[in-house]
Chain A
């Protein structure tokens, strides 16, 4: 789902994420979302780092490696949450 945050009030985002995660677990569905929104990432990180879902969640970021080739870096949920809780840039 692209730009999933569109149309949601930012304060509602953690609640939206909690509901989405519950739905994914109950329906056994994998959810892949893309965004440029830091507020949305911050809201998702705290929900995804919870013990029950952390191992099934990660941030994937497209970046260039040392050879200049495009790669996808996979960032564990705990690392994602540590970064956003310190307001570090992850995009």
Chain B
């Protein structure tokens, strides 16, 4: 049985779905010199309710000012967002009406939700963390990227019904193609800068990094949405 996700609490908390999300977010913060965030994960996109409910019971709950929940859009950004919103409503936590909006309620931390990929590609919001990773990984490993494209075409992944599966296939193949020492290397271990697998300074991560960098300030402000805060502060 998998170990439960560790208890994370702080003034500003960021929670991803799984361990690889946590690893990505921690290394991204390190790469962009973003400090002041406690990063954790909830054990899957159905785990937000239980994790937040458990946080409420912590003696340190009142220390927490804001929480950013980060989840994959998967095959339907609207359905995936609603899945998280329903979990928040079930435990009467503040519940934003749309992604990147801050929900506030007395005696609770402010809550925001970021759906990945962000920014969503035009006309197609589907995808996951891997959707962002592909661009950065291919830029660092173009030769292997071309091979993975050929293999994807050979396997015919465009006929696979789930975009998530297509993107995860490409990332898995890229990791295996680049990391000859252990082709089964886990994705959560691939973000370390010494592996040179995922260049976290790539522009594809800029928008996510910007939100993380300013999350504490945004959540403490009166700006309801991230776009509103950004405009007001010239970011």
A residues with a Cβ closer than 8 A to B are 59, 61, 63, 65-66, 75, 78-80, 82-83, 85-91
Contacts and interface: CB of A to CB of B under 8 A. Distances in A.
B59 A83 contact: no
A75 B50 CA distance: 14
B91 interface: yes
B59 A80 contact: no
A48 to B, nearest CB: 12
Contacts of B58: 83, 88-90
B62 interface: yes
B56 interface: yes
Given A65-B62, A79-B91, A82-B50, A87 B4 contact: yes
A79 B7 contact: no
B229 interface: no
Nearest to B63: A66
A63 B57 contact: no
Q: Say whether chain A's binding surface is mostly helix, strand, loop, or mixed.
A: mixed
B212 to A, nearest CB: 24
A86 B5 CA distance: 7
Contact of A59 (B4, B5, B57): B57
B59 A61 contact: yes
B51 A86 contact: yes
Given A59-B57, A79-B57, A86 B62 contact: no
Nearest to A59: B57
5 contacts: A79-B91, A82-B50, A83-B58, A86-B50, A89-B7
B55 interface: yes
Which 9 pairs between the two chains have the least Cβ-Cβ distance? A83-B57, A82-B53, A83-B54, A82-B54, A86-B4, A88-B7, A79-B57, A79-B56, A79-B53
